[in-house]
Amino acid sequence: MFGLGVPELIVIFVIALIVFGPKKLPELGKALGKGIAEFKRASQEMKETIETEVRNAEQGLDLKKLKADVEGAEASLRKELEGKEDAPAAQGTPAAEGRAPAPSTAADQPSTEKGPDPYAKS
């Protein structure tokens, strides 16, 4: 406990009996027991609160690390994509080169002339 043995507890009990008397001693013991129980409950709640805050702080650190990792990956991906846009393989399509597509010619358009109607009555 607190380094108190049986002889020390007996001495404390005798002194309390002399000071408070036999009528008050049970009430005092009950109040002391309630006080100790309340103290244990409060210390347990404090311990749980501290553990919860530590867990939340650790998760916050993990989130910050994860966010930094994602931002780093995003930056490297952007650099990689910028490098591919400058590469010759990306050239050849007007959109990849940043210009509008060439206007279409008549050969590119479907024919609007109607041929003989196979269902027409002759």
At residue 33 the predicted structure's pLDDT band, cuts being 50, 70 and 90, is: very high
Can you tell me the distance from the alpha carbon of 54 to that of 44, in angstroms, rounded to the nearest whole number? 15
Query: Any idea which residue has 């590119």 for tokens?
Result: 108
Domain membership of residue 67 as a residue range? 6-90
Domain count, the chain: 1
Q: What is the pLDDT of residues 102-116, one digit of tens each?
A: 555 555 555 555 666
In a domain, 38, yes or no: yes
Q: What is the pLDDT of residues 43-93, one digit of tens each?
A: 999 999 999 998 888 887 777 788 888 888 898 888 888 887 766 554 555
In a domain, 86, yes or no: yes
Give 104's Cβ-side CA count (13 Å radius). 5
In a domain, 84, yes or no: yes
In a domain, 54, yes or no: yes
Q: What is the pLDDT of residues 18-32, one digit of tens each?
A: 888 888 888 988 998
